[in-house]
């Protein structure tokens, strides 16, 4: 993709603009955020600052992706 | 001791017995003394171990030197530590998600942290600046390439003049050299949350440095 190198570097260095909940609050709310996402609800509206944090923190982003994948898979195997 | 007319409210009211039936059953069993608690803890540990095992193996693909027994050991440690965290924090579960979703996040966190720490064991964390000359987008249109280059030059200058030495080291370690935040936090004797605050403050200073020069980072987000 054209522009990827510079954009990627700038994103890593500058993070996302706007409010950012930080790692502790992100972990605190991650389960509810993921369930809202999987339910098709507007998780970002429910938890302002989560998206910016996930874009700015690779560790939390990885854990978010992992929880989303695991719960999504489990929900398919064991419907509520 | 007299009882005040208005007692201070707790920071968070006790969690009502909310949530789905399965979540309530977990809370009931884990909160009750005796064999049912032990049985529930064992069932929960099995779930956590399965989640941690999946996560450890998925992450290990990026670290080929971690194999076999190492991975089983990391998964077991992750499940053990996650179970301890969960049992110590049962009263913080608010019933606003499924109990298992809430519990899984502890297992995934522990698994991720343990794999990252093992992968970086014995490695120094580099604090190098990027090779700015190689940060380029060969396919960009000339005016966009020029704008991004101006932004990058200003960021480079900001790193040199607008950050404290600590902010600079943290930014370069995490954002440029890819060090995991929990690995760096452990080596610096701080917490992941505190270290992210340092990173966030450094980024805010860089953004302010750009703004003072009339530069807008959104320029870099424009479509190619």
Higher pLDDT, B45 or B62: B45
- Residues of A at the B interface, defined by Cβ within 8 angstroms: 1-7, 9-15, 17, 20, 22-24, 27, 30-32, 34-35, 56-59, 62-63, 66-67, 70-71, 74, 80
CATH code of B51's domain? 1.10.1740
Q: What is the pTM of this model?
A: 0.86
- Would you say residue A78 has pLDDT above 70? no
In a domain, B6, yes or no: no
Q: Within this chain, do residues B136 and B198 fall inside the same structural domain, yes or no?
A: yes
In a domain, B51, yes or no: yes
- Would you say residue B153 has pLDDT above 60? yes
- Across the range B167-190, mean pLDDT stands at 96
**Cβ of A22 and B203 within 8 Å?**
no
What number is the ipTM of this complex? 0.90
Q: Summarize pLDDT for B194-222 with one digit per residue, the tens.
A: 999 999 999 999 999 999 999 988 766 65
**Cβ of A56 and B192 within 8 Å?**
no
Q: Summarize pLDDT for B95-151 with one digit per residue, the tens.
A: 999 999 999 999 999 999 999 999 999 999 999 888 887 776 666 677 777 888 889
Q: Within this chain, do residues B103 and B171 fall inside the same structural domain, yes or no?
A: no
Q: Within this chain, do residues B77 and B152 fall inside the same structural domain, yes or no?
A: no
Higher pLDDT, B63 or B177: B177
Q: Summarize pLDDT for B50-82 with one digit per residue, the tens.
A: 999 999 999 988 887 777 788 999 999 999 999
Closest chain B residue by Cα to residue A2: B139
In a domain, B12, yes or no: no
What confidence score (pLDDT) does residue A77 get?
Answer: 79
Q: Among B112, B217, B224, whose Cβ lies nearest the Cβ of A1?
A: B224
Q: Among A5, A34, A70, whose Cβ lies nearest the Cβ of B51?
A: A70
- Would you say residue B224 has pLDDT above 70? no
Residues from chain B that touch A59, judged by Cβ atoms under 8 A, are: 112, 116, 180-182, 192
Which residue, B119, B151, B171, sits at the end of a domain?
Answer: B119
Which residue, B119, B140, B160, sits at the end of a domain?
Answer: B119
**Cβ of B102 and A63 within 8 Å?**
no
In a domain, B8, yes or no: no
Q: How near does any CA of chain B get to the CA of A39, in Å?
A: 12
Which residue, B119, B149, B176, sits at the end of a domain?
Answer: B119
Q: Within this chain, do residues B113 and B136 fall inside the same structural domain, yes or no?
A: no
In a domain, B3, yes or no: no
- Across the range A35-48, mean pLDDT stands at 97
Q: Which domain does B171 fall in, by range?
A: 132-221
CA distance A44 to A2: 28
- Across the range A36-43, mean pLDDT stands at 97
- Would you say residue A30 has pLDDT above 90? yes
Q: Summarize pLDDT for B2-43 with one digit per residue, the tens.
A: 333 333 333 343 344 467 899 999 999 999 888 999 999 999
pLDDT band at A3 (very low <50, low <70, confident <90, very high): very low
Q: Among B102, B196, B206, whose Cβ lies nearest the Cβ of A14?
A: B206
Q: For chain B, what is the domain count? A: 2
Q: Within this chain, do residues B169 and B99 fall inside the same structural domain, yes or no?
A: no
**Cβ of B207 and A31 within 8 Å?**
no
Q: Summarize pLDDT for A5-22 with one digit per residue, the tens.
A: 888 888 899 998 889 999
What confidence score (pLDDT) does residue B214 get?
Answer: 94
What confidence score (pLDDT) does residue A39 get?
Answer: 96
In a domain, B181, yes or no: yes
Q: State the Cα angle at B188 between B88 and B173, rounded to 5°.
A: 115
Q: Within this chain, do residues B193 and B112 fall inside the same structural domain, yes or no?
A: no
What confidence score (pLDDT) does residue B2 get?
Answer: 36
pLDDT band at A31 (very low <50, low <70, confident <90, very high): very high
Q: Within this chain, do residues B83 and B114 fall inside the same structural domain, yes or no?
A: yes
Q: Within this chain, do residues B111 and B137 fall inside the same structural domain, yes or no?
A: no
CATH code of B202's domain? 1.10.10.10
Q: Within this chain, do residues B198 and B143 fall inside the same structural domain, yes or no?
A: yes
**Cβ of B203 and A15 within 8 Å?**
yes
């Amino acid at each position: 993709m054209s522009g990827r190198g510079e954009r990627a570097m700038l994103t890593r260095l500058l993070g996302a603009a706007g409010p950012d909940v930080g790692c502790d609050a992100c972990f605190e709310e991650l389960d509810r955020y993921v369930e809202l996402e999987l339910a098709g609800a507007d998780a970002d509206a429910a938890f302002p600052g989560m998206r910016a944090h996930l874009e700015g923190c690779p560790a939390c982003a990885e854990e978010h992706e992992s929880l989303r994948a695991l719960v999504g898979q489990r929900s398919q195997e064991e419907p509520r | 001791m007299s009882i005040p007319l208005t007692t201070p409210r707790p920071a968070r009211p006790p969690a009502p017995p909310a949530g789905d039936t399965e979540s309530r059953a977990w809370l009931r069993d884990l909160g009750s003394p005796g064999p049912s608690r032990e049985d529930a803890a064992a069932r929960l540990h099995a779930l956590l171990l399965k989640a941690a095992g999946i996560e450890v193996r998925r992450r290990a693909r990026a670290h080929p030197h971690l194999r076999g027994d190492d991975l089983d050991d990391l998964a077991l440690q992750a499940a053990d530590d996650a179970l301890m965290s969960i049992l110590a924090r049962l009263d913080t579960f608010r019933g606003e998600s499924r109990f298992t979703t809430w519990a899984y996040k502890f297992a995934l966190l522990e698994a991720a942290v343990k794999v990252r720490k093992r992968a970086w064991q014995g490695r120094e964390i580099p604090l190098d600046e990027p090779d700015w000359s190689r940060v380029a987008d060969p396919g960009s249109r000339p005016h966009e390439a020029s704008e991004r280059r101006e932004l990058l030059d200003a960021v480079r200058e900001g790193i040199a003049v607008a950050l404290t030495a600590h902010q600079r080291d943290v930014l370069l370690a995490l954002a440029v050299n890819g060090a995991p935040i929990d690995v760096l936090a452990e080596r610096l004797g701080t917490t992941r949350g505190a270290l992210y605050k340092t990173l966030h403050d450094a980024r805010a200073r860089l953004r302010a440095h750009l703004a003072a020069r009339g530069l807008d980072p959104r320029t870099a987000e424009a479509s190619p």
